[in-house]
Amino acid sequence: MYTDKVMDHFRKPRNVGEVENADGVGEVGNPTCGDMMKITIKVEGGRIADIKFKTLGCGAAIATSSITTELAMGKTLDEALAITRDQVAKELGGLPANKMHCSNLAADGLHKAIEDYRSKKKGT
Ligand code: FES
């Protein structure tokens, strides 16, 4: 079963949508189920100044996306890159074993958005 925290983030997801003029975009698909998510970030002074997500997926995917944006907000890029799938699941008080794969989307999307930002910056 889902924890109260998972249900809370599923019912009232934080930071839904897209950051305007995003500095980095991460889009990932879950090969296990075909669900998708997109994370957009704004970077200021080497920190994540804003972050939003859009997830086309199950309740666990929405809850993990929501908590990931909360974890990453205000963090330096290296700190945000260090956020792992396991940490995301732990932060929610755990996920049912058959839903652990759902936590992949959020952490991977966040990492991709940071890589996207860094690759764009390199090219300027
Ligand atoms: Fe697809 Fe959860 S079943 S992300």
pLDDT, tens digit (0-9, with 9 covering 90-100), for 24-55: 999 999 888 999 999 999 999 999 999 999 99
Q: Whole-prediction pTM value? A: 0.94
Q: Confirm whether 58 is a catalytic residue.
A: no
Q: Which residue, 61, 56, 49, is CA-closest to 20?
A: 49
Domains of the chain (ranges, CATH numbers): 4-118 (3.90.1010.10)
Identity of residue 3: T
Distance 120 CA to ligand 1 centre (A): 30
pLDDT, tens digit (0-9, with 9 covering 90-100), for 7-26: 999 999 999 999 999 999 99
| Tally of CA atoms within 13 A in the half-sphere of 91 that contains its CB | 22
Task: Single out the catalytic residue among 6, 95, 102, 110.
Answer: 102
pLDDT, tens digit (0-9, with 9 covering 90-100), for 87-101: 999 999 999 999 988
Task: Tell me what pLDDT residue 93 has.
Answer: 96
Task: Single out the catalytic residue among 11, 32, 33, 79.
Answer: 33
Pairwise CA distance, residues 44 & 58, whole Å: 32
